[in-house]
Amino acid sequence: MDRTGAYAVIGAGPHGLSALKALLQNGIDADGFEREAEVGGNWNFGAENSRVYQSTHLISSKPFTQFPDFPMPDRFPDYPSHAQIKEYFSAYARHFGLVDRIRFEADVVRVAPVDDGTTWLVTSRDRASGAETTSEYAGVVIANGHNWNPKQPHYPGQESFGGDIIHSADYKGAGVLRGRRVLVVGAGNTGCDVAVDSAQNATATWHSTRRGYYYNPKFVMGRPSDQTADLLLALRLPLPVRRQAFKAALKLTVGDVSRFGLKKPDHKFFETHPIVNQQLVYHVGQGDISPVDDIARFDTDGVVFTDGRRADVDLVVFCTGYLVTFPFLADAEQQLNWQGDHPVLALQVFTPTHRNLFVSGLIQPDSGQWTLAHWQGMTIARFIEAARDRPTVADRFFRAVTAETGRAFTAGTTYKDSSRHYYEVAHQEYLEALQTAIHELEVAR
């Protein structure tokens, strides 16, 4: 099918929806592809590749998370649940007329450039009939998410373990924890959530982490903590001053977590992705969760930790994150400028190898994400528009932005070396960079 006058947008989660809307609103024909029967992506609870669980709520507050042109309802709380977020995305898609532009239950199985990448062939498979359709597009926006392909660790003796091992990718609710002796591995926000679920449902709970972290409360002085943090950024306070302010706030609200057996952080504030979970400290303090070191090895009936301690467990939940993969993209490592084990892009959107292949959503911000999704979509739309109508402007912009491929938007912070920080961005700095890009693409209109 000839769709060489249009763009393909892969995924109907928040980044796919906002990219599709931006293209259509700017007069760029586009088709969306979504493997599930509804929009929502990761927030489509119960869908095959959804990784939210029954207790999932936002960890960034409503005004910092919502799309700037589609506020969340006033009836939503400060930190909405996954069900409310799914409702929000469905309303967004209906409001902007996106539903009829999306091919649902369509697995994208191959995306490949034609010749030198002037156009792209997109092959999708209907999940009901199995029939495949290939269409030729002017370009592609990849927005399939990066939190769906589980990163599976392996430890000595794991094969001999007589209990059950699952990844948080398959964790949907506390039912699997009830009556079990549970080890939760990983100290990201998911690991902390699952440990808290386990504390309230399991017979016993251990929480294994490699390092200490700062556990941020959701509220400080009666308001969402990310709003307080943003105020400090808006005041342009130096990083050392902001660190001292957060240290004082955590001392008052959380206290010295080492008193409860949690490890002291081995890094400064803002050098890891924020963990927003005060309940973990509460349940550790009550003795409901036992903090332990990294796993040294498994045995038949349990786990031995690196400090020599041992626990009899019958269920292990690996909350160890996800790997970024694009299984449908032909020669993804070359197309997306892979370096080591991950792609390295310009402005977290542009690949230096093609001017008509974009990625939206390959970011891990220190605050809400969907404002950034909106402006990523607008940046892509403005570039496509410039390439069509003002090629000299688009060419100048592309050369300038790709010359800074791999630039980190981290507000001067050096994050701990970890795969979870490959895509970390400081939201204010990154938002400013996107808006600067849009201005440069619009200036010659």
Q: Is residue 232 part of a domain?
A: no
Q: Does 415 score more than 80 pLDDT? A: no
- What's the pLDDT score for residue 214? 83
Does one domain contain both 307 and 407? no
- What's the pLDDT score for residue 211? 86
The alpha carbon dihedral of 15, 18, 20, 22 has a sign of negative
Q: Are 139 and 381 in contact (CB under 8 A)?
A: no
Tens digit of pLDDT for each residue in 6-35?
A: 999 999 999 999 999 999 999 999 999 999
- What's the pLDDT score for residue 195? 98
Average pLDDT rounded to a whole number, residues 55-81: 96
Q: Is residue 328 part of a domain?
A: yes
- What's the pLDDT score for residue 444? 57
Range of the structural domain that residue 196 is part of: 158-217+254-318
Tens digit of pLDDT for each residue in 170-185?
A: 999 999 999 999 999 9
- What's the pLDDT score for residue 382? 97
Does one domain contain both 117 and 135? yes
> pTM for this structure?
0.93
- What's the pLDDT score for residue 291? 96
Q: Does 381 score more than 60 pLDDT? A: yes
Does one domain contain both 310 and 166? yes
Q: Is residue 229 part of a domain?
A: no
pLDDT band at residue 127 under the 50/70/90 scheme = very high
Cα gap 401→56, rounded to integer Å: 37
Does one domain contain both 45 and 22? yes
Helix (H) or strand (E) holding 125: strand 119-126
Indicate the residue among 268, 302, 318 that finishes a domain. 318
Helix (H) or strand (E) holding 9: strand 2-10
Helix (H) or strand (E) holding 194: helix 189-199
Residue 236 DSSP SS3: coil
- Domain count within the chain: 2
Q: Does 79 score more than 70 pLDDT? A: yes
Does one domain contain both 68 and 136? yes
**Average pLDDT value over all residues in the chain:** 92
Q: Which two tokens stand for residue 398?
A: 């592309």
Q: Is residue 239 part of a domain?
A: no
Q: Are 393 and 337 in contact (CB under 8 A)?
A: no
pLDDT band at residue 234 under the 50/70/90 scheme = low
Does one domain contain both 172 and 211? yes
Tens digit of pLDDT for each residue in 324-375?
A: 999 999 999 999 999 988 999 999 999 999 999 999 999 998 888 999 999 9
Does one domain contain both 13 and 140? yes
Does one domain contain both 117 and 177? no
Tens digit of pLDDT for each residue in 386-410?
A: 999 999 999 999 999 999 999 989 8
Q: Is residue 241 part of a domain?
A: no
Cα gap 272→413, rounded to integer Å: 9
Q: Is residue 263 part of a domain?
A: yes
- What's the pLDDT score for residue 231? 66
Q: Which two tokens stand for residue 370?
A: 């969907």
Average pLDDT rounded to a whole number, residues 154-158: 97
Does one domain contain both 353 and 402? yes
Q: Is residue 240 part of a domain?
A: no
Residue 66, CA distances (Å) to 104, 230, 426 in order = 24, 15, 17
Q: In percent, how much of the chain has pLDDT > 90? A: 76
- What's the pLDDT score for residue 13? 97
Indicate the residue among 318, 350, 371 that finishes a domain. 318
- What's the pLDDT score for residue 213? 86
Does one domain contain both 177 and 281? yes
Does one domain contain both 13 and 134? yes
Cα gap 411→429, rounded to integer Å: 6
Q: Is residue 197 part of a domain?
A: yes
Q: In percent, how much of the chain has pLDDT > 70? A: 94
Does one domain contain both 328 and 306? no
Cα gap 169→321, rounded to integer Å: 9
DSSP assigned state of 57? B
Lowest mean pLDDT among 38-47, 241-250, 400-409, 429-438: 241-250
Cα gap 293→354, rounded to integer Å: 45
Indicate the residue among 289, 318, 347 that finishes a domain. 318
Which CATH number is 290's domain given? 3.50.50.60
Residue 354, CA distances (Å) to 44, 235, 261, 334, 381 in order = 31, 39, 51, 10, 15
pLDDT band at residue 237 under the 50/70/90 scheme = low
Average pLDDT rounded to a whole number, residues 29-53: 96
pLDDT band at residue 130 under the 50/70/90 scheme = very high
